[in-house]
Amino acid sequence: MLVAGMALATANIWTGAPLLGLWVGSRVAPSSGISMLAVFAVAATIFGVAWALIRILAVLSARYDEASGRRRTVRRHVPWLRSMRGERPNDTAGESALSAGDYVVVVGVVLCLLAFEYWFFFLSGSSIDQRSGR
């Protein structure tokens, strides 16, 4: 259930937040067209919803790590801050460096990029054809 919640939050960062932002902007915009208030409402809504979903994703990931027994208390040094003399012990063998939340987010981003590329190359049409009247 936690992984499903993480997948749902990840998908809604890419889809739900922009759709909700556009809906809020459509409610704020005047009937004559677009206004700066509507643009600000769209941007603020997308930012707020995406931020909330990222926080939810972090909480779900932490709960999954607790439930699976994965300890996140050990701080690791990033490679560029590690000593070149080898005085610090290396990471423990057999322990995965990525958590389930990391995998869910990476898969979500890859799927989003693939969907965008499919739309861009196959569904969007060419602006050159539209300008020349073809």
- Residue 28: per-residue pLDDT: 92
Please report, as a single letter, which amino acid is at residue 44.
A
Written as six digits, the tokens of 89 are 């012990």
C-alpha distances in Å from residue 75, one per residue of 72, 91, 99, 100: 8, 11, 15, 18
Report the C-alpha gap between 56 and 5 in whole angstroms: 9
Written as six digits, the tokens of 31 are 């009937």
Q: Of 62, 64, 97, which Cα lies nearest the Cα of 78?
A: 97
- Residue 32: per-residue pLDDT: 86
- Residue 31: per-residue pLDDT: 87
Digitized pLDDT (tens) for each residue of the chain, 134 residues in all: 888 899 999 989 989 999 999 999 999 999 888 899 999 999 999 999 999 999 999 999 889 888 887 765 556 667 777 666 666 555 555 556 778 888 888 898 899 899 989 988 888 876 665 555 55
What pTM did the predictor assign? 0.66
Q: What is the DSSP string of 106-134?
A: HHHHHHHHHHHHHIIIIIS--HHHHHHT-
- Residue 73: per-residue pLDDT: 59
